[in-house]
Amino acid sequence: MMNFKKLSLGLTVAGLAFVALTPKAQAFQFFYLNSSQSSTAGFFDFNFEFQADPGDAILTDQSLVISGFDQVKSASLTDPQTNEAGVIYSDSTFDPDKTAVHNTFVTFNTIGEVAAQRRAVRFQTFTVTAAGVPSGFVNPNFGGNPLAPTPVPEPLTILGSLAALGFGSRCQKEFAKKQSANSEEA
């Protein structure tokens, strides 16, 4: 007969050993915020946020590379937002004057150090002006470590969806008017 006590103890020890020996995953996170029409005709401003979770450290001379764009025009950083509870915004770690812009990717370089000891650290909004994101995903990489691909809806798709919703709503109202007119005649 099986000894369930020994079996469960063995499985628990094996599970704890697996967790202890598994290397800590990078906790840096990268988020798509929004996009808007650029002042440059035919281009859009894609806005992103980078976050370092507690225990992460940003060092000088590291690079945040964001790839997956079409016809990158420029890149910049905006001012950080107002502090929220539990979050520190950092505005002196990445330098907008030290960005490298290429046709399909942008590199932001660090000039300062931040240790996210007890709270998450968010950074300025990273803005990339480009014609689009052909695959619908950008691929961020920080310090040579790839982060999770970030979904980025195309602005034209968003505008098209809004136009379709408006058109559908208008058609539905017209149809309702015709139905009520037909029912009054009958």
Please say if the pLDDT value at position 117 is more than 50.
yes
Token pair listed for 65: 């590379």
Cα 64 from chain centre: 13
Q: Give the domain ranges of the chain.
A: 25-167
The answer to whether the beta carbons of residues 36 and 45 sit under 8 Å apart is yes
CATH number of 25-167: 2.60.40.1170
**Which pTM value belongs to this model?**
0.70
| pLDDT confidence band for 48 (50 / 70 / 90) | very high
| pLDDT confidence band for 79 (50 / 70 / 90) | confident
pLDDT in tens, 160-183: 444 445 555 554 666 566 666 666
pLDDT in tens, 146-163: 999 999 998 854 444 444
